[in-house]
Amino acid sequence: MGEIVQLTQKIYPLIFISALLFTLIDTQISYSSSGSLTAEVTSKGLDSTSNDELYEIEKRQTLGTDIQQAKPHAPLLQLTKAEKAWLQNHKSIRISGPRAFPPFHFFDAHGNAQGVAADYVDLICDLLQVTPDVQSDLFWPEVLKKSQDKEIDLISISAKSTDREKYLLFTDSYLSFPLVIVTKTDAPFVSGMGNLHDKTIALVKGNVTYDLILKDKINFSPYFVKTPLEALQAVSSGEADATIENLAATTYLILHNGLTNLKIAAPTHYKNYDLYIAVRKDWPELVLIINKVLSSITPEQHTEILNRWLNVRYEYGISKRDVVKWILLIIGIFAAILLLVTLWNRRLNREIRERKQTEQILSESETRFKALHNASFGGISIHDKGIILECNRGLAEMTGYSTTELIGMNGLMLIAERYRDYVMSKILAGDENPYEAVGLRKNGEEYPMRLEARNVPYKGQNMRTVEFRDITKQKQAEKALRLTRFSLEHASDSIFWTTPGARIVDVNEAACRSLGYTRQELLQMTMLDINPHYSAEQWPQHFAELRSCDSLKFESEQLTKDGRLIPVEIVANYVRYESEELNCSFVRDISNRKRAEEERIGFEKKLLHTQKLESLGVMAGGIAHDFNNLLMSIMGNADLALMRLNPQSPAVDNLKSIEKATASAADLAKQMLAYSGKGKFVVENIDLNNLLEEMLHMLEVSISKKAVLRLNPFQPLPQVEADATQLRQVIMNLIINASEAIGDKSGVIAISTGCMDCDRRYLENVWLDENLSAGLYVYLEIADTGCGMDKNTMSKLFDPFFTTKFTGRGLGMAAVLGIIRGHKGAIKVYSEINKGTSFKILLPASDKPVEFFNENNHTNDWKGSGTVLLVDDEESVRGVGIEMLKELGFETITANDGCEAVEQFKNNPAISFVILDLTMPHMDGEQCFRELRQLQPDIKVIMSSGFSNDEITQKFVGKGLAGFLQKPYKLSMLKEVIRKIPGATE
């Protein structure tokens, strides 16, 4: 009796399952006969496609669509100022999409874009207030080509691929559909992609589906078409065996084009076919804006768009011809089950007795297992298909759930959502290797975890035991280590880790760049290989010093791979890592600093020398100025005495001697003025070659008999604006110095000329480089093979009163420097002991025609008339001046400074012109000149000074100066200057 009851209990579920199956078959047949297109699945197909898979496909398909659900309350569209500005600059956007891809994107007879994607794009354009410029009638390859050439700004719908991402940006996915296999209704059964080997598959050219099939390594023949409709038509006509397309487009095209001989044969294993809006690569701003718009679209707006185009439901069903097969199969299974139940029931009692005995043993074992289970420091669970059957206290403490809450929970709920598919794939594969994921606590907090699973028998079944480990602290330590390493690698200074034995154990990238070695090469070397200042014996002493001080800072040098020695600053730090001693050295290349220091020292030396020369120049100019005033009195009185004496008088010879001595003293004053750069120049355009030809004989007789003079002129040579007398003095001084440097030995003195274009870099290393501008310079080079000079001698070469001669005065080279400075030139000096010396004089090339400014074609019998105001602070100069002006026919009024001169001018309106000294106390000549011009704008003023004509001309250029007299001057010079003043008559 018990066996009959047990048999009945086993039969009832079978009867119930059979009834349910007949009902399902009946329902599917009815659904298919109602006129809806139904995908057929044969009995073979049911065996190969699980109920769960079919249910999942059916659950997410409404017209085959898996539209991403909008958020319950979409946020308002909020754009930044930069995004609004971008839209203002792009009011029109060129838009296109597939020519025939219904129901997503296609064009009607009037060229208007239609479909789901077109509606989304229209809604986006309305919200952003931009004008869509729709590019119609383009097939998909043409759309891709134009977007690649930036002739299309936005594609309304596109799948994502690696190739397209090279020239397109993609928004968030806004449509998603499963891909299905479509065949003819009478085609052989297809359960998946594996049945498509050696088949012809129709594919839209350029579609990513082609790449997906290639990755599956399916041997197939592609049949390329331009649109999904053409692909379906190719299958319908038998030109292709199948096509793979998204479910929504397929069902739409089958309904609207009457392709009743087609069926959806099977789903593919590919993930949902995600579709995006694609934007040209250089418009990332538009991608961000569109993503915001998609997030702001309300659920009602999504539903309205989808319902407009997607309104038919398709399901997989069973064809009528398979019903009989199913019934016969179920009857056979039912009979077999009855037989098995009878045999099984007999064994059942015996197994129950054995089970009670084993349960006792298992109970004791389980008690011991739980003790070990709860003693684990990590979380442990046992689950079956993801459902937790058992867990320890460690898992509860880790996740925040109680053990009661955990048992029966799906273990995937303890995993962050984005990692659940990954973890599930590990479970399905039975993977027993440890892996990492992100855990989710009860309070929503995420944390990093490591999982390791074992497939173990549990209560008579194969279960999966999983150990959970919270690795938050480990991850933090790894991150800190990565940041530290990143900082070291990106440090600008070189970093070396070395042992007490000088072996290099680690370096950063800066060290490799600085020395030119790879990291692998440096790790095979020691510090002795790259630091030439340490030997194997010295290094232990260095490390011992470092150990006692903890840190050392010093300068040294390092040897690069290409053999260069670079100066470095080293900060060495003693580090004890675990039980190991290390030296962590920070090494900085100080080449630029050293170069800057050398340049600074050179500049300071040059500045000091310039200041010294300037100070001595001011002193020399002041002495020469006062000296000229004295010479003016002597020369003027001697000149007047000679004019008034009888030529037969015995005093004439004495006066001429005085005049000759005065001229020599004036030459000395000129030399001092030349050193100060304020000498009197008679400027003319000079050809240096002609000047040297004229001087050649005089130079040859001036040098030693054992010295050979060679002239190497450059032809043609640009002219220079210079004083020929001053240049002769420079040449003579340098030639005589060269001859004396050769001495009693035989030697050569070479005089060369030429021109060169000098840039600022070349002019930085010359004497007198201040205010020199780059450009064309004429040079005069005098080189000898004499004894040469050392650096100390060269540094004092142009100092006043410095000489290496026993009888020298030390003014020759100082005068040379002053003359060249007055001509706005420069000097370069090269010299080596026992090899000779070279002086290169650089003078600016002139672009003026040859003319002389010191012509004197006037007669000696000229006389003037009128009243002259003579202003000078030296009484002797005023006295001589009165006598000279009287000889020339003028009456004279005198003043001893500028203030008195202004008063005298106010009181004597009949003054014809003024002779005005430049340097005076109280009010100097320049200020007095301005005061006189205010009293009478057209007043004629002759300026008198011991300084040069060039300096006075520059100071008073454009101010109406009538003339210039350089002290000391003779009567003839005074007469020539006055004759040039308009209004001075005979």
What count of residues does the chain have?
Answer: 986
- The predicted structure's pLDDT at residue 471: 86
Residue 863 or 71, more confident: 863
pLDDT by residue (tens digit) across 705-738? 888 888 888 878 888 988 887 888 888 888 888 8
User: pLDDT higher for 934 or 20?
Assistant: 934
Least confidently predicted of 664-673, 694-703, 745-754: 664-673
Residues 6+ apart with CB under 8 A from 640: 880, 883, 884, 887, 971
Q: What pLDDT does residue 661 have?
A: 76
758: pLDDT strictly greater than 80: yes
Question: Of the ranges 66-75, 101-110, 653-662, 919-928, which one carries the lowest mean pLDDT score?
Answer: 66-75
Q: For position 11, what pLDDT does the model report? A: 47
Q: What is the pLDDT of residue 79?
A: 87
pLDDT band of 162, cuts 50, 70, 90: confident
Q: What pLDDT score does 383 carry?
A: 83
Q: Greater confidence, 939 or 481?
A: 939
User: Which whole number is the average pLDDT over 67-79?
Assistant: 56
What pLDDT is recorded for position 681? 54
Distance (Å, whole) CA 148 – CA 160: 14
Q: How far apart are CA 200 and CA 382, in angstroms?
A: 48
Task: Please give the order of strands across the beta sheet that includes 221-225.
Answer: 221-225, 200-204, 242-246, 179-184, 262-267
DSSP annotation of 525: S
pLDDT of the residue at 241 = 92
Give pLDDT, residue 484: 64
Most confident of 20-24, 156-160, 167-171, 493-497: 167-171
**Spatial distance between the Cα atoms of 657 and 647, rounded to a whole number of angstroms:** 15
Q: Which of 290-299, 484-493, 840-849 has the lowest mean pLDDT?
A: 484-493
Instruction: Using alpha carbons, select from 644, 685, 637 the residue that is nearest to residue 662.
Output: 637
Q: Which of 141-145, 248-252, 619-623, 961-965 has the lowest mean pLDDT?
A: 619-623
Does the structure show a pLDDT above 70 at 678? Answer: no
| H/E element, 846 | none
- The tokens describing 645, both together, are 């004496």
391 three-state secondary structure: strand
pLDDT at 448 exceeding the cut of 70: yes
Of 322 and 220, the structure prediction assigns the larger pLDDT to: 220
Residue 451, C-beta contacts closer than 8 angstroms, at least 6 positions apart: 423, 426, 434, 435, 436, 437, 466, 467, 468, 469
pLDDT of residue 446: 92
Give the tens place of pLDDT for each residue, 811-844: 667 778 878 877 888 888 888 888 888 888 889 8
Q: Where are the beta strands (DSSP E) in 392-481?
A: 435-440, 446-458, 461-470
> Residues 18-42: pLDDT tens digits?
444 444 444 333 333 333 333 332 2
Question: For position 319, what pLDDT does the model report?
Answer: 46
- pLDDT, position 983: 65
Strand order in 891-895's β-sheet?
A: 891-895, 867-871, 911-917, 941-945, 963-966
Q: Is the pLDDT of residue 235 over 80?
A: yes
Q: Which residues, 6+ apart, have CB-to-CB distance to 965 below 8 Å? A: 915, 942, 943, 944, 945, 973, 974, 977
Contact at 8 Å (CB) between 925 and 954?
Answer: no
- Tokens 């354009």: give the residue: 125
Cα–Cα dist 872/895, whole Å: 7
- Mean per-residue pLDDT for 782-807? 72
Rounded distance, CA 83 to CA 90, Å?
A: 11
Dig out the tokens for 631 from the structure: 């010479």
pLDDT one-digit tens code per residue, 576-604: 876 788 888 888 888 888 888 887 877 77
pLDDT at 576: 83
How far apart CA 964 and CA 221 sit, in angstroms, is 106
pLDDT band at 45 (very low <50, low <70, confident <90, very high): very low
> What are the pLDDT digits (tens) for 543-575?
888 888 888 888 888 888 888 888 988 888 888
pLDDT of residue 94: 93
Residue 154 banded pLDDT, cuts 50, 70, 90: very high
pLDDT band at 674 (very low <50, low <70, confident <90, very high): low
Q: Mean of the per-residue pLDDT values for the chain?
A: 77
Which is more confidently placed, 761 or 372?
Answer: 761
Bond prior to 141 in cis (omega within 30° of 0): no
With 70 as the cut, is the pLDDT of residue 692 above it?
A: yes
The more confident residue out of 334 and 959 is 959
Q: 861: pLDDT confidence band, cut at 50, 70 and 90? A: low
Banded model confidence at residue 953, pLDDT cuts 50, 70, 90: low
Percent of the chain residues topping a pLDDT of 90 = 12
- Binned at pLDDT 50, 70 and 90, residue 178 comes out as confident
How many C-beta neighbours within 10 Å does residue 89 have? 7
| Secondary structure (DSSP) of 47-105 | HHS-HHHHHHHHHT-BTTB-PPPPPSSPPPP---HHHHHHHHH--EEEEE--SEETTTE
DSSP single-letter state for residue 404 = H
Q: Residue 278 — very low, low, confident or very high, per pLDDT cuts 50/70/90? A: very high
State the average pLDDT over residues 371-379. Answer: 61
